[in-house]
Structure 1
Amino acid sequence: MQSQTRIPPPRSSGASLADWRPDRASPQPIYAQIAGYFRAKITGGDWPEGMKLPPQRELARQLGVNRSTVVAALGQLAELGLIEGRQGGGTRVAGKEDPPWTAGSWNDYVEEGTHYPNLPAIQAINRLEFQPELLRLGTGEPAPELLPGEEMRSILAELAREELPLPYEEPLGSLRLRRAVSAELGRIGIRAEPSSILILSGALQGIQLVSLGLLPKGAAVLLEKPSYLYSIHSFQSAGVKLHGLPMDKRGLVTEGLEDLAARAKAAVLYTIPSFHNPTGILMDAERRRELMERAAALGLPVLEDGAYQDLWLDAPPPLPLKALDGKGQVLHLGTLSKSASPGLRIGWVAGPEQVIRRLADIKMQTDYGASSLSQLAAAKWLEDGGHKRHTDALRLALRRRRDLMLELLERHFTELAEWSKPAGGFYVWLRLNKPLPLPKLFRAALAEGLLLNTGDLYDRADARHLRLSYAYASPSGLEQGIFKLAELVRRMDRLF
């Protein structure tokens, strides 16, 4: 296999103001507080030489002040020689233009690791999601009020009266939890013994372990386009290339799979057949059988992401691909993060024992196993029927929110966009009638207090889509947010 040239990751601003705001009750002028905070960051080494600061308008927004206040603070820092403006390069922490080849501090290694940084927009979203004043219209997790707080507290209180599992668990994870997961998988048609299940620190870790432990550098992965995997770098950081396949209303289009697999020399096919992220599409039963038949004929392994499997709203989805697998061809990922608790950090992967043992070995080299306490709580949650009771209630709540969002879109977006009714999951994939510069739409929405997930995160060429989530914002938040978003899209339509 030919060696691949590594494309260096894009550099991004390292300045983060998420944890600090000026004190308006202080007798010290606000611009002087800002200058003092920035000076401490620079002289303390948190903001190294050459680091680019955000634009003045963005700094003003993050700090909740007028732009003129930011200008005054930056002027004070410039007089001290701590920052400088560079032609075409914005404002940066002052330093040597050409640093020596040796590193002076850990800051010099920030961009040098083998793992790519997140896309700048994803980094921004990850920070901004913790600003309570923003309406989160794209967030891929249930709202706190939809999570089983009381039930989990009861389980943890009960476990506190027992002997706690403070030592490490075995490499595959807690046997008790694997037995509970095995029973849970059996309810959706997947036969997997505990010895064929590895407990993960969230399903995303399964993707990382596969990319690190099973795929050669330069390998090709086929997947739907758009896809959640384009918004993260789990495969790309391991030197793996992504090749997109088209979708229709029935899911991934299987025609042409053989040609693309041959051209790309594909090693794996990754798919989210149930309530796809970001489109919400549900692959029907016939398409699933077609996909499995074609993949089997090609000898193409399949990585099935079942993160949204439990979140059907109208009717249960068809059998997972793993339930159709009689040859050990499919690895199936599952998680509790989308339904019970993102913070519990419990997921799993089921597959052939030899493969699972290999992934377990890689996992032991990375984190030595998921939290023993989380595994015990998860086992109790599944064993006692808490998961079924909760998902039944969660479906009802999500169904109401989905129907509200569809009603709001009908009211405000009829002339602006088109969409389909999702049968499960969290997302409406909104297609704008007119292409727009989505990064500008993201920034404009942010200025209006709206946090969006734009389509270009999931397909770089996209200029028409928004991933809207009905799982996080409250009903009143959805009403306010969809109205404001429609007004913003109308304004941008006139500009572009």
Structure 2
Amino acid sequence: MHIEIQRNADMSITNQIYHSVLDQIRSDFLEEGSPLPSVRKLSKQLGVSLVTVVKAYQKLEQDGFITSVQGKGTFIKKTKKEVVEGKKGSSSYDWQLSVEDYLPRSQFARFHQVPEKIHLSSSMIDPGLLPNRYLEQEIHRMLSKNPRVLSKYGEIQGDKALRQAMVEYLQKMNLSTDPENILVTNGSQQGIDLIARTFVGPGDVVVMEAPTYPGAIDVFRGRGATILTVPVDSEGMRVDLLHHLCDKYKPKIIYTVPTFHNPTGAVMPTKRRREILEIAESTQSLVIEDDPCSEIYFDRKPPAAMKSLDKEGHVIYLKGLSKILAPGCRIGILAASGSIFKRLLAAKANTDLGSPLLTQKAIIPFITSKRMMDHLKKLRIALKIRRDLVLDILSQHAPEEVSWFLPKGGLNIWLTLPSWMDTNHFLVETKKEQITFLPGAACYPADQENHHLRLSFSYMNEQPLTQGVTTICHLLQSAVYLKNKQGSSPHF
């Protein structure tokens, strides 16, 4: 079990150990019933005192994540009786526990594809709302005209015709660039990973919003970054607190989702975008501007991208097409300039020698036609209907102790529950009803807040969406009732 200790971090070493073990439990790296290193072994491995490890283990046991068995050791807690008594039997794969890895967490993947019928945990779009038939026809047409497209490697930077098409697409969003400054990626997630593996090493400071997109947390934690967080308000990242943080530390990266922030849905005004860019310029930092779905607005268009204000090449802009067009194509773009771009291009070459040519070619006719704008218009209407449906159900059925942020675009609604509720435990109850959501703790890079959850309204159609949200509200009502009646928190 690999734990990265950052001795200059604001978080105590005890809490770092606690959160590292908890992250690995929630990422399913540590299976239920598997043993943890002894206190003595872990303290020697990390170069910390026995007392420090003991306190971390005691907190994990107190919070119900591990259990100690006298004379046998400490194990990941399991409800089955045989684990409390000690592990019985042995798998032929048990030897693999001795192979050390360097993955501190991978929480987001657990909620991306789930077996539950009512899937509210991942911000994907209902396949029925996407142009599947048109893209299918376009692939057939392309293969019949040019079957050798399957026999060719694409350019590492990405197909030039697609890069030119994306330049024109971004211009409609008031963002000017050129094909030479665009890199085609396998979705935005690869863009984040390329930036991290190129510019982030152990101890480098990365500033992130709290909460933020959990897939980005997973990547930066995997690089051993020192992650510092800035709270989010109704206008995105708090610039006053960012100023204070950057006065004390010099961040390598500032990561932000300024438009329909994931998970809260906040939209950052132009003034604040400009202020963050000025901070980056003064500290010689890079800004990663992650833009997964700025096209999905319900009232008016959001402000232009921060990248449109960038004159000195501080902003690396990520635009995903997977969500709004074709998840199976896994296409996104990265826009940067200067030597920053050249180094990212080299990282892309080292990673996969270029994205698949077939899927790149397939989407070009669509994004360059009027069909793309018509598709986005219909998508906004359909998703606004679903957002309003969820808001209406919450208004009617959620306990008054529950609050939520009103998103003016995007795919998610962020709920805040009473502070005594832990949504990781609440998820166990909703799964019994075949319903999933994203627990808020997954969205916090450092000190986790457990009383939030993210509902994604974009994937399920109206009937299961109504059933899922209504059931969640009823379960919350029951929990609040029991709390008020018994004076103690329900056991979930």
TM over 0.5, shorter chain: yes
Q: Quote the Cα distance in structure 1 between the aligned partners of 2:87 and 2:423.
A: 22
Q: TM-score, normalised by structure 2?
A: 0.79
Where do residues 96-175 of structure 1 align in structure 2 (5 Å cutoff)?
A: 107-108=96-97, 112-119=100-107, 122=108, 124-127=110-113, 129=114, 131=115, 134-164=117-147, 165=149, 166-175=151-160
Q: Quote the Cα distance in structure 2 between the aligned partners of 1:229 and 1:212.
A: 17
* DSSP 3-state at the match of 1:198: strand
Q: Quote the Cα distance in structure 2 between the aligned partners of 1:89 and 1:439.
A: 25
Change (3 A) 1:329 1:414: same
Q: Give 1:319 shift.
A: 0.8
State the one-letter code of the partner of 1:141. M
* DSSP 3-state at the match of 1:398: helix
Q: Give 1:117 shift.
A: 4.4
- Count matched residues: 421
Contact 1:426 1:471 in 2 (8 A): yes
Q: Quote the Cα distance in structure 2 between the aligned partners of 1:471 and 1:480.
A: 15
- Does structure 1 residue 487 correspond to structure 2 residue 470? no
- Does structure 1 residue 236 correspond to structure 2 residue 221? yes
- Does structure 1 residue 179 correspond to structure 2 residue 164? yes
Q: Quote the Cα distance in structure 2 between the aligned partners of 1:137 and 1:379.
A: 31
Change (3 A) 1:146 1:265: same
- Does structure 1 residue 361 correspond to structure 2 residue 358? no
Q: Give 1:308 shift.
A: 1.5
* DSSP 3-state at the match of 1:305: strand
Contact 2:399 2:473 in 1 (8 A): no
Q: Quote the Cα distance in structure 1 between the aligned partners of 2:294 and 2:155.
A: 27
- Does structure 1 residue 198 correspond to structure 2 residue 186? no
Q: Quote the Cα distance in structure 2 between the aligned partners of 1:435 and 1:91.
A: 36
Contact 1:408 1:479 in 2 (8 A): yes
Q: Quote the Cα distance in structure 1 between the aligned partners of 2:452 and 2:120.
A: 13
Contact 1:172 1:357 in 2 (8 A): no
Change (3 A) 1:386 1:356: farther
Match of 2:452 in 1: 465
Where do residues 50-129 of structure 1 align in structure 2 (5 Å cutoff)?
A: 85-87=82-84, 93=90, 107-108=96-97, 112-119=100-107, 122=108, 124-127=110-113, 129=114
Match of 2:262 in 1: 277
Contact 2:255 2:288 in 1 (8 A): yes
State the one-letter code of the partner of 2:296. L
Q: Give 1:259 shift.
A: 2.5
Q: Quote the Cα distance in structure 2 between the aligned partners of 1:401 and 1:288.
A: 29
Where do residues 369-448 of structure 1 align in structure 2 (5 Å cutoff)?
A: 369-413=354-398, 415-448=400-433
What is the root-mean-square deviation in Å for CA atoms of aligned residues? 2.8
Match of 2:12 in 1: none
Match of 1:328 in 2: 313
Q: Quote the Cα distance in structure 1 between the aligned partners of 2:223 and 2:356.
A: 25
Match of 1:211 in 2: 196
Q: Quote the Cα distance in structure 1 between the aligned partners of 2:243 and 2:274.
A: 15
Contact 2:194 2:347 in 1 (8 A): yes
Q: Give 1:3 shift.
A: 9.4
Contact 2:251 2:283 in 1 (8 A): no
State the one-letter code of the partner of 2:377. D
Q: Unaligned 5+ residue runs, structure 1?
A: 17-49, 58-70, 72-84
Please list the CA deviations of residues 440-469 of structure 1 after superposition, one character each: whole Å capped at 9, or x if unmatched.
101111112111111111125213211011
Change (3 A) 1:117 1:432: closer
Q: Quote the Cα distance in structure 2 between the aligned partners of 1:231 and 1:364.
A: 21
Q: Give 1:265 shift.
A: 2.6
Q: Quote the Cα distance in structure 1 between the aligned partners of 2:334 and 2:29.
A: 36
Q: Give 1:362 shift.
A: 1.1
Contact 2:250 2:283 in 1 (8 A): no
Q: Quote the Cα distance in structure 2 between the aligned partners of 1:414 and 1:138.
A: 21
Q: Quote the Cα distance in structure 1 between the aligned partners of 2:112 and 2:120.
A: 13
Q: Unaligned 5+ residue runs, structure 2?
A: 8-15, 33-72, 484-488
Q: Quote the Cα distance in structure 2 between the aligned partners of 1:490 and 1:227.
A: 27
Please list the CA deviations of residues 76-115 of structure 1 after superposition, one character each: whole Å capped at 9, or x if unmatched.
xxxxxxxxx455655663579xx8xxxx6xx457x62333
* DSSP 3-state at the match of 1:246: strand
Please list the CA deviations of residues 7-42 of structure 1 after superposition, one character each: whole Å capped at 9, or x if unmatched.
7763646889xxxxxxxxxxxxxxxxxxxxxxxxxx
Q: Quote the Cα distance in structure 2 between the aligned partners of 1:159 and 1:277.
A: 36
Q: Give 1:351 shift.
A: 0.7
Please list the CA deviations of residues 409-444 of structure 1 after superposition, one character each: whole Å capped at 9, or x if unmatched.
111115241123211000111112453022210111
Change (3 A) 1:55 1:332: same
Structure in which a larger fraction of residues adopt helix:
2
- Does structure 1 residue 223 correspond to structure 2 residue 208? yes
Q: Give 1:257 shift.
A: 2.0
Contact 2:386 2:457 in 1 (8 A): yes
* DSSP 3-state at the match of 2:333: strand
* DSSP 3-state at the match of 1:233: helix
Change (3 A) 1:450 1:349: same
Contact 1:417 1:431 in 2 (8 A): yes
